[in-house]
Structure 1
Amino acid sequence: MAKLAAVLATTHHPFYLKATTAPVEQQIPQAAEWKRKVEAYRETLTKAEPELLVMVGADHFHQFFLDNYPQFLIGKAPRYDATFYNEEREFGIPKYVLEGHEDLSNFMHKGLLARGFDFAFSNELKLDHSIICPIITTRPQADLPVVPIYTNIFAPPLPSPKRFWELGRAIREIIDEYPSDKRIAAIGSGHLSLELGGPRQFRETGPDPEFDRQAIEWLSTGNIDAILANVTHESMARSGNATHGFMDLILMMGIAGPIPAAYSDSLSLFHTMEAYITWYPEGAAQ
């Protein structure tokens, strides 16, 4: 059976690459610390020696819109083009082509259907920065096959936080059952408190520092009971109009299980708090 080598939950700030590769005199004050923290986080994946990546993200209205926005979708293509024009223009993110893994995608899709998750699928999925930014930060050589999973964190009505947790548990079961000797890592990105285009966007911190503190503590300690008792669609909206991306981090903890993280770090970065969490299920990389 396959080995789940690591689970990573992170944010996906699209300006990371541009901010840390600009000439030093043009860099933001936090650039050096940001780069140092990301490189330390990258090591948590490297030490797990993955051979295949399950990537969880969300489409930022690049190819799914209010006329047809799936709650959950899995990519089943042999390869994936990545980066949309506005991401190149605004964030300086280059184009990528990532290798897919059709066998695991098909196995995962069937397993999810059998567990009551009616996933949409795509044989022509294009990836945006919710997946490419974690590739840049954790696997910049972009040399491993990926199975991309998209969730709906933007277009109401949204699945519940509990449903994201349950989906993570289902993905874990399927990885554990996959008939292969591959070492698989799961990497997912979302948000802590976040405001996009609203009055709380450009503050020195994220819109709700107390939520950020609690969220990192819950993830770091594997405290799913506290998350499900305190996190609702309404509470996330009070913390910022894009805070619902936290549900993708709940999903990642679902894959890992209700266990303490092996690695936890964060960075307060102008209008948002960046988070970097890694679990090693059953001591896979310890």
Structure 2
Amino acid sequence: MATLAAVLASTHHPFYLKATTMPVEQQMPQAAEWKRKVEAYRETLTKARPDLLVMIGSDHFHQLFLDNYPQFLIGKAPRYDATFYNEEREFGIPKYVLEGDTDLSNFMHQGLLDRGFDFAFSNELKLDHSIICPIITTRPQADLPVVPIYTNIFAPPLPSPRRFWELGRAIRSIIDEYPSDKRIAAIGTGHLSLELGGPRQFGEQGPDPEFDLQAIEWLSTGNIEAMLDSVTHESMAASGNATHGFMVMMLMLGIAGADKASYVDSFDLFHTMEAYFTWYPEGARP
């Protein structure tokens, strides 16, 4: 059977690459520390020695629109083009071509259907920065095949926080049953409190610092019960209009199994709190 070698959950900031590679004299004061933290986080994946990556993110209305926006979608292509024009223009993110793993994609899709998740699928999926940002931060050589999974955090009505957790548990059981000797890492990116286009977007810190600290505590200790008791669509909206991306972090805890995180770090980037978590499941520790 396959080995779940590591589970990584982090925020994804599209300006990271541009902010840390521009000429030093033009960089923001936080750039060097930001880069140091990301490179330390990258080591947690490198140590796991993965053979392929299951990537969980959300399409930012680049390919999925209100005329047809699935709650959950899996990519089943042999390779994936990545990065849309506006991401190149605004964020400085380069184009990528990532190899897929159709065998695991097909096995995962069937397993999800068998567990009551009616997933959409795409054989022609193009990836945006919710997938490419964690490639840049954790595997910049982009040399591993990927199985991408998109979740709906933008287009109401949204799945419940509990449904995201349950999906994480389903993905974990499928990886555990996958008939392969490969080491699989699961990487997902979402948000803590986040405001996009609203009055709290460019404050001195994230829109809800109290939620951010509580969310880091929940994730670092694996306290899914407290999250499911406390986190609702309404509470996330009160913390910032894009905070629903936190449900992807809850999904990743579902894959990890509600264990205490092996690695926790965070970075207060004046308008948002960046956070980084890694779990090494029992029996797969590097």
> Cα distance, 1:285 vs. partner?
2.3
Unaligned runs of 5+ in 1: none
Q: How does 1:92-241 map to 2 (within 5 A)?
A: 92-241=92-241
The answer for the alignment partner of 1:40 in structure 2 is 40
Q: How many residues align?
A: 286
Q: Quick one: distance in 1 between partners of 2:236 and 2:33?
A: 28
Instruction: Say which SS state the counterpart of residue 184 (structure 2) adopts.
Output: strand
Structure 1 residues 152-192: Cα deviation after superposition (integer angstroms, max 9, x where no partner): 00000000000000000000000000000000000000000
Show structure 1 runs of 4+ deviating over 4 A: none
Instruction: Say which SS state the counterpart of residue 281 (structure 1) adopts.
Output: coil
Does residue 84 (structure 1) correspond to residue 84 (structure 2)? The answer is yes
Structure 1 residues 56-97: Cα deviation after superposition (integer angstroms, max 9, x where no partner): 000000011111100000000000000000000000000000
- Amino acid aligned to 2:104: L
Q: Quick one: distance in 2 between partners of 1:120 and 1:285?
A: 33
What's the Cα RMSD here? 0.5
Q: Quick one: distance in 2 between partners of 1:205 and 1:62?
A: 28
The answer for the alignment partner of 2:50 in structure 1 is 50
- Amino acid aligned to 1:45: L
Structure 1 residues 25-63: Cα deviation after superposition (integer angstroms, max 9, x where no partner): 000000000000000000000000000000000000001
- Amino acid aligned to 1:218: W
Quote the sequence identity (%): 87
> Cα distance, 1:284 vs. partner?
1.4
Q: Quick one: distance in 1 between partners of 2:93 and 2:119?
A: 29
- Amino acid aligned to 1:151: T
Structure 1 residues 174-216: Cα deviation after superposition (integer angstroms, max 9, x where no partner): 0000000000000000000000000000001100000000001
Q: Quick one: distance in 1 between partners of 2:123 and 2:206?
A: 37
- Amino acid aligned to 1:6: A
Instruction: Say which SS state the counterpart of residue 185 (structure 1) adopts.
Output: strand
> Cα distance, 1:271 vs. partner?
1.0
Instruction: Say which SS state the counterpart of residue 199 (structure 1) adopts.
Output: coil
- Amino acid aligned to 2:205: T
Unaligned runs of 5+ in 2: none
Q: Quick one: distance in 2 between partners of 1:147 and 1:285?
A: 22
> Cα distance, 1:270 vs. partner?
2.0
The answer for the alignment partner of 2:277 in structure 1 is 277
Structure 1 residues 99-144: Cα deviation after superposition (integer angstroms, max 9, x where no partner): 0000000000000000000000000000000000000000000000
Instruction: Say which SS state the counterpart of residue 103 (structure 2) adopts.
Output: helix
